[in-house]
Amino acid sequence: MDKKISISQLKEVAQEAYEQVKGNTGGKNADYIPYLANIDKNLFGISICLMNGQTINIGDTDYRFGIESVSKVHTAILILRQYGAQKVLDMIGADATGLPFNSIIAILLENDHPSTPLVNAGAISACSMVEPVGNSDKKWEAIVQNITDLCGSAPQLIDELYKSETATNFNNRSIAWLLKNYNRIYDNPDMALDLYTRQCSLGITAGQLAIAAGTIANSGVNPVTKKEVFEASLAPKITSMISTVGFYEHSGDWMYTAGIPAKSGVGGGVMSVLPGVFGAAAFAPPLDEAGNSVKSQLAIKYIMNKLGLGVFNGDRVTIVE
Ligand X SMILES: NC(=O)CC[C@H](N)C(=O)O
Helices 206-217 and 71-83 pack at an angle, to 10 degrees, of: 40
* Minimum gap (Å) between residue 245 Cβ and ligand X: 11
Q: Report DSSP state, residue 228.
A: B
Q: Are 70 and 263 in contact (CB under 8 A)?
A: yes
What is the enclosing helix (H) or strand (E) of 263? strand 262-264
83 in a labelled binding site: no
* Minimum gap (Å) between residue 135 Cβ and ligand X: 23
165 in a labelled binding site: yes
Residue 192 vs 200, nearer CB to ligand X: 200
Q: Are 212 and 235 in contact (CB under 8 A)?
A: no
212 to 68, 181, 296: CA distances (angstroms): 15, 34, 16
* Ramachandran angles phi, psi of 319, nearest 5°: -95, 125
Where on the chain is the footprint of ligand X (CB under 6 A)? 68-69, 101-102, 120, 165, 172, 200, 265-266, 291
172 in a labelled binding site: yes
Q: Which of 301, 314, 321, 269 is nearest to 36 (CA)?
A: 269
* Minimum gap (Å) between residue 170 Cβ and ligand X: 11
* Minimum gap (Å) between residue 42 Cβ and ligand X: 20
Residue 97 vs 120, nearer CB to ligand X: 120
* Minimum gap (Å) between residue 76 Cβ and ligand X: 14
Residue 120 vs 297, nearer CB to ligand X: 120
183 in a labelled binding site: no
Residues in the chain: 321
Residue 107 vs 277, nearer CB to ligand X: 107
Q: Which residue minimizes CB distance to ligand X? A: 69
248 in a labelled binding site: yes
Residue 47 vs 69, nearer CB to ligand X: 69
End-to-end CA distance of the chain: 20
Q: Report DSSP state, residue 47.
A: E
Binding-site positions for substrate read 69, 120, 165, 172, 196, 248, 266
Q: Which residues are annotated as a binding site?
A: 69, 120, 165, 172, 196, 248, 266
